[in-house]
Structure 1
Amino acid sequence: MISLFFTQLCCCRIEKISLAVRDFRFKGMSTVRTLDHGTIVDKINHHVIIGCNYCGKKVHGYSRFKLHLGGIRGKVKACDEVPEDVKVQMRNSLQMKKEVRRCLRKEISSSDDSPGKNDNHVESSQPYMLRKRKHGTIKEFFIENGIAFSAANSSTFKKMIHALVGGGSKAYRVPSYDDLNGWILDGELKAMREHVREVVCFWRSTGCSILLDGWTDEIGRYMINFVVDSPRGPIFMKSDSIGDIDAMISSLRGVIEEVGVQNVAVGKQITEKYKSIFWTVRSSHCIGLMLEKIGMLGTERGVIGKAKTITRFIYRHEAALKLMRKHTHSVDLVSSSRIKSVVPFLILERIESQKKYLRKMFISQEWKNSLLASTANGRMVADLVTGDSFWTEAEMLLKASIPLIRALHLLSGGDSKPQLGYLYETIDQVKETIKEEYKGRETKYKPFWTVINGIWDNNLHSPIHAAGYYLNPGLIYFDNFYANDEVKTGLLCCIVRIVEDEREQDLITSQFDDYRMSRGAFGNGDAVDQRTMLSPAKWWSLYGGECPELQRFAIRILSQTCTGALRYSLKRSLTEQLHMKERNCVEQKRLAELIFIHHNLQLQNLPASNSDHADIFLEPIGPMDAWIGGGSMEVKAAEQNGNV
């Protein structure tokens, strides 16, 4: 209620107006739905562009669109084809809003002029929207960071807000626990649902990908977060506690039905029921599997063991750690990752990059004078670092692992483009790079190719990846582009499964020649120049209009992602808390709403570009990690096993 924004002195009179405002809005919503008469065609920042269903004109914003339909000239051209009843509805809606604003201005003005003002009453003179914005930012801070609303009753919290918002004055009324858990939360829920509806409107043209983030909690329950991703941004849909595979399939089917099967572009049992859906495994997971298997090969396992021995020794001894950071200019050797199988190779790469400084450390006078230099473990590690064998083996292993890690960075959001159209080519490039690094010696590169091919064939490859490769204008026009039988079969499979109408299937097939031969709009100057500059889906939306059926198909394929929900780092503890069976239905519903807002706020506020290895690096490793912890017994065991 609006009365909650104002002081106690004018609460009674404003409450009366607030009821009228609520009635106006309810009536307006029940009779006038703007999007019944227009379609959102684009969104720039927080502003929508709506296409009129009657005359086709594109109008910026809901208010201007209502003016357009209501025939009110001035800010926008009136629609000449809108039905009379719709025009009257829009005019009435605009008139009601105008009346509400007039009443509010009058009420605020009269309360400002009333006698008996005190410090609290100063707040009523603040502009309504400014106060609402302040309340909104406080609310978002609490919800996005998962802070209990009870903290709002803290005296230090109020003191902080007064210092930041009011310059030390207590004139600003800080929202209380009841405010945050009541009308403010309700308002945020309404706004978030509207945001979700706006994103959903675009799924019809771009399709979407349902991402599953699954894990097992401490008491053995299997939990899943469902996130729907599209070029308009990711949306958190729901979470569930899964007892078995049948329960997971049932839950996923529920999400598919809610999203709309025609909007989903990415289990065998799911694809059997929904032919237009493609089930794929997250690319980062599969590349992680490749690295894990490479790390288990005979010689490679020994190199990783030696690297672990070096880091354990340095990080277990304060004097050695201090000396290492002095020589490496504070560069640490150890970092963590969401993908555990990547950790050994990231650390090995970091150690190799600091080779010169580590060698200087272990031949320095400061090291020689230290007590550690005289210990058995100290001499062992010094011999490893100052010798040649470890570095030669590390360099050979990194020839295979670095191309995979670079591919992982690219496919996990290293730039802002959806990467499905690049996956097929990226894996091929990884293999060719590894072959070049080993100078074409088959005995050297073939074991790594075998690992990569095995996981690609059995886990990662999908027809949608082949279609993305063929439809990517940044690849198809290069001389080294090669569409083998696997690519052609995958492309045709996607056409048959995604496009139901046989006539449209034939049209798409017939339009491929124009695209492949760069005829018509595909070959004009801008289209050629932008082939590698724009994302593939954006390129098709701009230059594929002469082949509309193929354009629609290409956009739906190329708008999908090949990454997973893991990269968004949704707080799993909230999902675990939600599925604890210890609260009544009212509390459960409120918590579910709070989590829905929390996750979607986090997704809504993602950085524009997930660079800096968004799906690889996480945070510094804790002191109990295997690369840091461990005593002399582990070092001796490693030595006995030939790892040092």
Structure 2
Amino acid sequence: MFYTGGLSFNFARNPYYRNSYAYAATHSIPGYVPPGYNALRTTLLQKERTHVEGLLKPIKDFWLKNGVSIVSDGWSDPQRRPLINIMVVLDGDPVFIKAIDGSGEFKDKHYIAGVLKDAIKEIGHEKIVQVITDNASVMKAAGSLIEVADTRFASVIVMLKRFKLIKRYLQAMAISDQWASYREDDVGKAQKVKDLILSDLWWDNIDYILEFTAPIYDMLRIADTDKSCLHLMYEMWDSMIEKVKAVIYQHEGLEDDQHSSFWNVVYDILIDRWTKNCTPLHCLAHSLNPKYYSIEWLLENPKRITPHRDYEISMEMSKYLDRHFEDGNELSVVKFEFTAFSGGRFPSPAALTDRRNEEYIHTATQMWDIGGDSWNESDIHGGAGILESATLTLDELELEAIVIGNASTSATTSESEVRSGFVTCQK
């Protein structure tokens, strides 16, 4: 089974596989006949396909509602046959549709376009949002599609990493006798390539490029997984930008507050990209991650602050909540819960209203400006007598009488005494 049937060696670790042999060795199974060749390739195969289609039905039911992407990629099987995979992807749930054997076919743009059109018809054009292929020139040439766009994933960085890995072999190639055979096609280009491969300065530049792009590459690698990372993106971008700056400034021998023309160019590119990708949802997810309120995380960098103290994050998060919770009461409850979670409040135009609803009425500082030290909770329910003084102004006769009364013990009322009487009245 393993050597001729193509089973993976990992299958031998399956406990059910091992138990089946143990059972067969100790029990007789009278009347059992294993499925034959014809049954395996006809009726049993059809039943298995029906079973798989039943498992896929809950996923396919959402295709029309949410729209899907057709993903196509070329590869070769163990027999070296050129295959074209067709898959459908929706919200991280890929479904394999079919593999097309391209043996004997001239795979030009017309052939590729035909393959993809057939896939669109099979799935249903009304369900298709986009078609994604690799960067092969024949794929780009199949312009009967919606749009042709590059889908590189840090391909330049990957290539430079590969150069570093095979540096010694590249240099050996450039100084070999066989290198002269390449000079017949383009002597100038061959000499330039040789000069670069043997140049220490060129390799130093590659080292520098890989060093300051490493934080960017690492972040892209983390984001390009099926694992949930939305709650990490905002901080990853901030940390990545700081790391890139540190590498560039160290390379140029600059202090943190000095000017770097190259860093300014890189910074503008990174910020422009982040501005296009950052959404209020990123800020909300960042704000709800307990990690970013921990002492350990804050102490890693003196510039770090908790999310609720970051004006930009709080404003963007407020935008999301304002759009998501149309009911004002629900919105107030959500903001109250976030305040309890973060220990802070929203620095938004509605912050004063939120603070009144959350603190002025419900917390230990409730009604702080009513009645002063002599106020107690029963005054709210038992009468408004204590509130009368709270509404007085300097223009009212009652207040004037109180001030004069406080000063009547002296023939001459000093300014400090008048102020003292006024403060007493206000209290």
TM-score relative to the length of structure 2:
0.46
Larger radius of gyration: 2
> RCO greater where, 1 or 2, for CA within 8 Å and sep 6 or more?
1
TM-score relative to the length of structure 1:
0.32
